[in-house]
Amino acid sequence: MHDGPVSAEDLEAYENELELSLYREYRDVVSLFSYVVETERRFYLANAVDVQVRGNGEEVFFELTLEDAWVWDIYRTSRFVKSVHVVTFKDVNVEELTKLEMDIPS
């Protein structure tokens, strides 16, 4: 433990360790899921995905409902969630995983 102020290097090393730990968790759980979902703010793994295109006049937005999901977020204490509801005006990418894509090399 150190008693002085946290340096920028210490903070960067800490965040790098969190990111590496998150990647390892992703690698361990990806085979449990059927879909990869990317939004402008988050990356998800899910077993059920429903995307609805909505409009209110000139603007178009997307409503996503994900079931049995995992969220890529280093700051969440629990990344497994039963249900996620996302509303976004940005692009959404949904890909169905195949068994071959799920086999990530060590």
Domain locations in the chain as residue ranges: 8-96
Provide the pLDDT for residue 106: 56
Within 8 A by CB and 6+ apart from 88, the residues are 39, 40, 41, 61, 62, 64
Cα–Cα distance measured from residue 41 to residue 23, given in angstroms and rounded to the nearest whole number:
17
**Exposure on the CB side of residue 95, measured as CA atoms within 13 A:** 12
12-58 pLDDT, tens digit per residue, is 888 888 889 889 999 999 999 999 999 999 999 999 999 999 998 88
In the chain the beta strands, taken as DSSP E runs, fall at 35-38, 43-56, 59-71, 80-88, 93-96
Contact 66, 37 (CB under 8 A): yes
pTM value surpassing 0.75: yes
